[in-house]
Amino acid sequence: MTVNKHVVCIASAFLLMAAATGTAADQGIHIPSGRSVSGSWNTADGAGYQWNIYVAGGYVNSGSHSAYSSGMQLQVNSSGFSGSSSGRLNKDGTEIEIGPWRRGSVNIYRRIYVDKKIGYCRWIDIFENTAASPQSLTLQYYNGMGTSTRKTCTTTGGTTTGAKDWGIVTGYTSSSYAAVAHVFATKKSKVRPSFHWTRSNSTVYYRHTLKIPARKTVALCLIEAQRRPFATAQQFLTTFKVERELKKVPRALRKIIVNMTGAMLTLGTLELPRNETHDLIVQRGGNELLGTLLNKNYVIETLYGKLTLDAARVVGLHSPVNAGDRIRLALADGQVIVGKLLSGEVRLKLANGNEMSMSPDKIDTAAYKVSPQRPEEITFRKPMIVLRGGQQLFFNTADVDWTFHTQYGRVKLEPGDLREVVLDTPDGGLHRAIFANESVLSGLLVTDKLSVSLDLGAKLAIPRYLIQQFAFPTADYNGPDLAELNLKNEDTLRGRVTDETVKIDTELEKVSVKRDEIAQITIPEDASLGRIRVKLHSGTVVEGKLVGKSIGFEVAQGARLPVYVGHIVEMTCPKPPPKPATKPATKPAAKTDPAPVTPKADPTPVLKTRLDKPAKRIAMLQDLIKKMQAEMAASKDPKRIAQLKAQIDRIQKQIAIERERDATRADRAKILKATAKAEKFKRIKEAQLQVQDRT
């Protein structure tokens, strides 16, 4: 067996960089289950102040030196947060998480962290919108302080928060009571909760209206610090570096915080602290140096060759600990390059005119100041390949075989329809194709080795297992409403049903339901394989066994899938738009005989079956009512119970209609029978008269 030494070298380099950058920030947005705490969580911060957190509500009771009487109570749409009686505790015992608490279609969690170094308490509230439409929540954070507020000072030196403030200190005139520093944003954040207080009143509030996009999760972060006397709290707020402290937040969680952004450039796993007026070097010990970076270019040896990059293209660099002489170089277009820096030391001219040079192993990060050429936020505009070591490189999509093997067969992915293809999934399982219309499809990218042309002018040959994901600058879907199909493997497909009709074998006969009539398809509980329940936009409910094994579904143009019925959890379909009204003819139409009037169909049918079996149909409807009543008795979902009641009412009306029709049919049958009998008697009488005439 032969081993490609070059590939092994590449793999080692990537794994080294991944290990060097792997920190607690690689965790998810939730604390995993394991350790727990209930009742009250009591702990002291790094400055010696107590935080006695009432777990069920996620708020602080009193703190130290009467700082609070009840602080950071969360109210959502005027209802107080009420989690479970116990919370999840992280490994080092510094943070708990409570929830979920559900309000409408939004799941809410509270993460509360007590800092053991600087000394503060941080709340991150997570809002998960499970609905297919945006949600808006009115939030209020109630702070009952230990005494009335007599003194305040904001980050700009005022007494009341303004547009540029990101924090405020509130306190009492006596030093016997602790003052509290409230931090509610970063300097560059565009989203800021409002802060409200009244002199000589003991309550202060944060208020905010939170917008949550459909199927998205966002978070709000607020920081509180107790200090005594008031001047010490002022000093805390003056020296507090919000951006630096946010690095302690798991990366996945930090990315969804809406009110603490800016001053930190994030490109994938690379984070660069930046300054608005000066270039910034952060040394390994945490020292910050302001000035002007003097390097004219950067020469870096990569696995795809040596590159010489003009400094104008570079936004900054990071030198990970334990990565040897390898650095990560961030470009102003969003690319990130990993390799050995060959161009020597990093040079900086300080504000006092002195110049200094530092080797990369003495530097944590070096970044250029925010400018139009190097903006605060960078949006990539070309397809990008992201490697496990953190590199982000523009590439030619035509060089990749986009055949994607799924449980429904092979699909040819089209990069123009995609947002990303994730190969490095958290559980190490199947790859995931994520479409611009928010569809998520699991499968396996068939190709196992790639050779792609890079935008940097080099060629990258790499095995698939070293690739984390492909990302595409595809615009969000902005077309008509789509059907949504939820599957048992947690895939969500959004698109349209491709079958013209869905055929269902009911207890009486086979029924064909047109595609545009379908509002919802669900699988009844404890149903046999293949049995489905179809609700139409008219309110009709059809239940039976699907004729065939699958339903055709198109995720995007060309991506058609036969979805096996056993994989379906639920499908919802939008109501088709009304057909546009036809314009009247310019010339008068020729007179014709009036068309025969067609009687209107029954507006509330429950099943489409022939009307020549009224007794069986009524019995079947009565049986359906019994099933619904049983489901209603077992269900705890008020919404579902209301739906079942409405359906039962419609079915009972249908039964009444059927009985009336049955009675009408019986009367008609009697009349026809009597008429036929009279006609027969008449014919017999006429025949007898004819015989008499002949004789």
- DSSP string spanning 567-613? GEEEEE-PPPPPPPPPPPPSSPPPP-PPPPPPPPPPSS-S----TT-
Number of Cα atoms under 13 Å in the Cβ half of residue 210: 30
pLDDT at 240: 93
CA 156 to chain CA centroid, nearest Å? 36
Site of tokens 């079942």: 644
The Cα–Cα gap between 331 and 392 comes to 10
Average pLDDT of the residues in 309-315: 96
Amino acid in the structure at residue 624: L
Torsion of CA 58, 64, 66, 67, to 10 degrees: -60
The Cα–Cα gap between 113 and 364 comes to 25
Site of tokens 């049955």: 662
Q: Does domain 24-254 have CATH number 1.10.1060?
A: no
The Cα–Cα gap between 599 and 246 comes to 69
Strand partners, 140: 75, 207
The Cα–Cα gap between 303 and 387 comes to 12
pLDDT in tens, 262-294: 656 777 778 888 888 999 999 988 788 999 999
pLDDT at 144: 94
Q: Residue 511 contacts by C-beta under 8 Å, 6 or more apart in sequence?
A: 503, 504, 505, 542, 544, 607, 608, 609
Q: How far is the first Cα of the chain from the last one, in angstroms, to the nearest whole number?
A: 117
28-37, 529-538, 616-625: which has the minimum mean pLDDT?
616-625
267-281, 645-659, 676-690: which has the minimum mean pLDDT?
676-690
The Cα–Cα gap between 494 and 51 comes to 46
CB-based contact 429:274 (threshold 8 Å): no
Percent of the chain with pLDDT over 70: 85
When pLDDT is cut at 50, 70 and 90, the band that residue 647 belongs to is confident
Ranges 45-54, 402-411, 594-603, 674-683, most confident? 45-54
Three-state DSSP class for residue 646 = helix
**Residue 607: is its pLDDT beyond 60?**
no
pLDDT at 526: 80
CB-based contact 505:520 (threshold 8 Å): no
Number of Cα atoms under 13 Å in the Cβ half of residue 40: 9
Peptide bond into 100 cis (omega under 30): yes
Question: Between β-strands 559-564 and 550-556, what pairing exists: parallel, antiparallel or unpaired?
Answer: antiparallel
The Cα–Cα gap between 194 and 162 comes to 9
Q: Please name which of 437, 587, 573 lies closest in space to residue 497, comparing C-alpha atoms.
A: 573
CB-based contact 518:512 (threshold 8 Å): no
Site of tokens 């890079």: 454
pLDDT in tens, 422-465: 998 766 679 999 999 989 999 999 999 999 999 999 999 999 99
CB-based contact 231:182 (threshold 8 Å): no
182-191, 509-518, 596-605, 680-689: which has the minimum mean pLDDT?
596-605
Site of tokens 């507090």: 240
CB-based contact 187:264 (threshold 8 Å): no
The Cα–Cα gap between 279 and 355 comes to 13
Residue 39, sorted as left (phi over 0), alpha (psi -120 to 50) or beta, turns out to be left
pLDDT in tens, 370-424: 999 998 888 889 999 999 888 999 999 999 999 999 988 899 999 999 999 999 8
How many other C-beta atoms can be found within 10 angstroms of the C-beta atom of residue 217?
Answer: 18
Three-state DSSP class for residue 654 = helix
Mean pLDDT, the chain, rounded, equals 85
